[in-house]
Structures are given as structure tokens and as C-alpha cells.
Amino acid sequence: MLKVQSLTFTHAASNLPAVIDANFELEPGRALLVTGPSGGGKSTLLSLLAGLAPGFLKGKLTGSIVLDGRSPQDPGLWAENVGLMTQNPESQFLAGSVLDEIYLTLRCRGKTGPQAQQAAEERLSALGISDIRDQSVFKLSEGQKQKVILAALTALKPKVLLLDEPSANLDPEALVSLSQTLKMLVSEGLSLIIADHRLAWLRPVCQDILVLNNGQTVYRGGFSPLEDDNFRSHLGLRAVTLSSFDNLPKAPMGSGPGVWVDNLTFSYRGGPPILEDLNLRVDYDKVTAVVGPSGRGKTTVARVMCGLEKPQSGRVVFQDAPLKEAYGTVVLQNTDHQLYMPKVSSEIDLALAPGKKSRPTPTPKALEILEAYGLCHLADRHPQSLSGGEKQRLAVAVGLARPTKLLVLDEPTSGLDGLNLKLMSNQINLAAQRGTAVMVITHDSELVNLAANQVFDMGPSPS
């Protein structure tokens, strides 16, 4: 049994504790959902449970974590029993290819070569990703990366499994499948802790709920209070039922007022075609949601439309746009590479006037934009010191600060709570109203319903 007592943690660079006096017990065969507003301490709690503090996560740690009489003091033994999938699965890869990653994970835990290879192949098959077994981990979609890490973790059969935002990049079908896999593992005696904003898919999995707000436990108990709209809206939580977007019109094809792709075919070097004769139009003044399973080529379409990849055949047309404005901006999922400046406000100022000498104080326009994204209080912070959700909002604000004919947002709400989801969808709608063709690549049905005017379904996975 996992016992957490009076657990408090303060990051080395902060005066305020990120987790305050957390207390709970988790028996084998139980699943606990940890939710709450962005920045509430969910990821920190999971890192503490994984034994990463104070070795990797620097700061002051008090209280205790005990699993079957053992504490995280012995990292080797702890890692054997507790598996963690972080918010950014790419950061967890040690090997360079998919099969190698799972194989290596199993070898680290003492499996012999043939045992490890057999177990790795079995897990890949169980998660439906055998077709990517030899691919480089750097070439995978975010959803595929998550599945690979999950395959590696579940192959180890740990006593406690910690999942941080596992739904962030998974399509609805993959979520149902994951939900079933987790239910099965829990029924076999696994203790499961999931930190997530998307609640609907977790209802059949988790029996216990822990709501964290500013590090404090504000609720501990069963799922039922989450059904209460007032309770959820008070804490900025997301919906507990899956919303359908079947009533939204389909995105048009062919020429028209917008950015359109005409019979696009694309494959990465030496690989099978990812896109074949694709036709799609992203209208100006509208938000077009692009949906489909992980690895289907959604991000690849965006990369081709924004000129990062050259198609083998077909073309991208910016209808009625002068040549010098005929380009798109894409806000990618990993925002770390897209933020350069020493201050949050300077990022916006750089986007507003690239090449102009940076100013010691932010411009009024920059502050106005930061205000709209709820980031004004962070204007003087270093962008790399922000939380994942804050970085995401800043990257979108930067993308929208400079007028562009096409704006592509790749999973812009993957780590956002209900409140920030609404804020983001408002800004996306405002951008479209200013005449930009906005394309949102997402698995988040709540975002599609809140922001999109039309939907383009990439269709089932070719495999």
C-alpha cells in the first residue's frame, strides 16, 4: 500500500510551497485521479511520488512517502516498483528507437535479452503500435510518444503507476483503449495515480479523487461532487461528460476564400506516404478543427502548409493573399524551442516588432496582449521558467501578435484547465474574426465545441 503523510514540498527557486500537507493512502487495485487548476501542484506531487525529489527536483521536502514499507531513498528499488509517465513523454526516452526503448527499459530491470525482446514486442502489439517498432523516437507524433512510454511502463508491471496528463495527446479512440487497459491493470492489483484535466474518460477508471488548488488539497473523496457544475466551475475544472462535435459542418475542399491544399501527397524520406491526395480548405474568418488518430499526419499537413516540408505532389494556395503575406505560422506542441527572450513581455514585443532594439519596459500593446491571455502578472518572468500551460498560452499569444494569413495551433490546450481552455478558445475566435484562417489540430472535443466553426477529419489511421 502507498502511504503519503504530511507531504510538503517547496521548489528551490520559490518561497511558496508547491504541495502542502498532502495526505492519502492508495491500496493495490485502486485508482486515484489528481485534478485541479493549472499550476495547482499536480505534476510536482507525481514527481515527488516517483522519488525525484530532492535528487532531481531541488527544494525542501518534508513528510513521508512509503510503499510497502520502503521509501524513495533507494532510487533503484523505488524505480522498480513505481513508474512515472511525465507530461512531456519525449523527455523520458533513453533509447533512439521505439523497440529499443522498451527493450532497454526491460533490460534495466534484469530481464534477459530474449525475454526483454519478447515482452517488448507483446506490449507494442497490445497498444497497437507494432508498425512503428523500428522508428526513431524523434520522428514520432506526440500521441505515439505517449503510447511508447506507456508500453515501456506497463511492460515492467510496477506496483504503482503515475501518469501525468496521459490524455493530452491521445485521440478519443486511443483514450477508450487506454481507459480499458488501465482498468484491466487496476483489476490485476496495480495502484494507479493519474493527474489530468480531462475528466470524462477517467470516470470508469478512477474511484478516488484528489483536487489540488495552489498546492492545497481542497477535496478528497469519490467522483460524484465532480458532477456538480458549480463545484467544477468554482475550481476551473473541465467537463465530466464527453462532448460530441457531430453537429459541426465539415470543412470545405477546393478553391475558395482561405488557404487550401490541393491533392497533397507527402512522405518522409524513405517512408510510406503520410498524406495521399489530400484536399482541405481552411477558410479565412473561421476556425477549422483538424481531428484524427495519432500518427495520421495532422501535424505533417500543418508543416507542409507552413512551408516546413515540401510535398512530393500537390500545392498549397493562399487565396487572394499578396505573395509577401502568403505564409503561415504554426505554434508547435513543444514550446521550449519557440521562446527566446529573457522576459515574457519581450517575447511579445519581439513578435510585434522583430529586429527592433529590445526595450527595458514592455510596450502597452504587449501588456494588453498578455492581459488577454492571463499572463500580465508574469510579464517580467523568464519564459523558460513558466509552467507548461503558461508557456503554451505565451506561445499562442506570440503566434497571434504578428498578423498572419494562416495560424496553425497544434494541441493548444493539452495542459490547460477549464478556465484557461475558455480563455484560449476566446482568443482563437478573436483571431479568426480578424480575418486569419485558423487551423486547430486537436484531440480535445471540448475545445472543438467551444472554438471551431468547421471540422476536418483526417480519417482512420492507414495501419
Partner 1 sequence: MPGLSRKFRSSATNRLNLAPETRLLLTFLASLFSLIFSSGLSLGILALVSAVYMLLEVRPKAVIIVYLAFAVMAAIALSCLKIISLFVPVMREQPLSAAFLPFVRMSISLNVILPLALNSKLSELANTLGRLKFPGIIKLPLIITIRFIPTFFNDLQLLREAVAIRFRGLSGPLFWLRHPLLLWRVFFMPLVVRLIRSADDLAIAAELKGLSASTDFGGGKILLANSDKIALCLTTISISMAYMAGQLSAL
Residues making contact with partner 1 (CB under 8 A)? 50, 52, 55-56, 75-76, 79-80, 83-84, 91-97, 100, 103-105, 107-110, 112-114, 117, 134, 138, 270, 306-308, 324-325, 327, 329-330, 332, 334, 336-341, 351, 354-355, 384, 398
Please report how close the Cβ of residue 55 comes to partner 1 at its closest, in angstroms: 7
CB of 109 to partner 1, least distance (A): 6
Of 113 and 459, the one with the shorter C-beta distance to partner 1 is 113
Q: In angstroms, what is the minimal distance from the CB of 402 to partner 1?
A: 8
CB of 358 to partner 1, least distance (A): 8
From first CA to last CA, the distance across the chain in angstroms is 41
Give least dist CB 343 to partner 1, A: 12
Min separation Cβ 157 and partner 1, Å: 13
Q: Are strands 275-283 and 258-266 parallel, antiparallel or unpaired?
A: antiparallel
User: Contact at 8 Å (CB) between 166 and 150?
Assistant: yes
Q: Judged by CB, which is closer to partner 1: 126, or 339?
A: 339
Closer Cβ to partner 1, 254 or 354, answer by number: 354
* Helices and strands, number each (H, E), in the chain: 13, 17
For the CB of residue 282, give the shortest distance to partner 1 in the complex, in Å: 17
Query: Residue 216 Cβ, how far from partner 1 at the closest point, in Å?
Result: 27
Contacts of 306 (CB under 8 A, 6+ apart): 327, 328, 329, 330, 406, 408
Amino acid at position 226, single letter: L
Q: Of the two residues 67 and 202, which places its CB atom closer to partner 1 in the complex?
A: 67
Residue with cell 470516470: 203
For partner 1, which is the closer residue by CB, 339 or 419?
A: 339
Q: Helix or strand or coil: residue 21? A: strand
Q: Which is nearer to partner 1, 61 or 95 (CB)?
A: 95
Q: Which CB atom, from 310 or from 324, has the smaller least distance to partner 1?
A: 324
> Are the beta carbons of 137 and 105 closer than 8 angstroms?
no
**Using a CB cutoff of 8 Å and minimum separation of 24, what contacts does 430-436 make?**
431/400, 431/407, 432/285, 432/286, 432/287, 433/285, 434/403, 435/284, 435/285, 436/284, 436/400, 436/403, 436/404, 436/405, 436/406, 436/407
The residue among 108 and 218 lying less far from partner 1, judged by its C-beta, is: 108
Judged by CB, which is closer to partner 1: 69, or 76?
Answer: 76
8 A C-beta contact, residue 261 and residue 301: yes
* C-beta atoms surrounding 17 within 10 Å: 19
CA atoms of 209 and 219, how far apart (whole Å): 7
CB of 158 to partner 1, least distance (A): 10
Spatial CA neighbour of 190 closest among 157, 151, 150, 148: 157
As measured in angstroms, the least distance from the Cβ of 240 to partner 1 is 31
Residue among 78, 145, 130 nearest 99 (CA): 130
**To which H or E segment does residue 85 belong?**
strand 82-85
CB of 329 to partner 1, least distance (A): 6
Using an 8 Å Cβ cutoff, are 64 and 6 in contact? yes
**74-81 — which CB contacts under 8 Å span 24+ positions?**
75/51, 78/50, 78/51, 79/51, 80/109, 80/156, 80/158, 81/158, 81/159, 81/160
Output 232 or 391, the one with its CB closest to partner 1: 391
Residue with smaller CB distance to partner 1, 237 or 331: 331
The 10 Å Cβ neighbour count of residue 138 is 10
Closest CA to 225 of 213, 214, 211: 211
Rounded Cα–Cα distance for residues 238 and 198 (Å): 6
Nearest to 407 by CA among 286, 294, 277: 286
Q: How far is the CB of 222 from partner 1 (least distance, A)?
A: 31
List the beta bridge partners of residue 191: 160
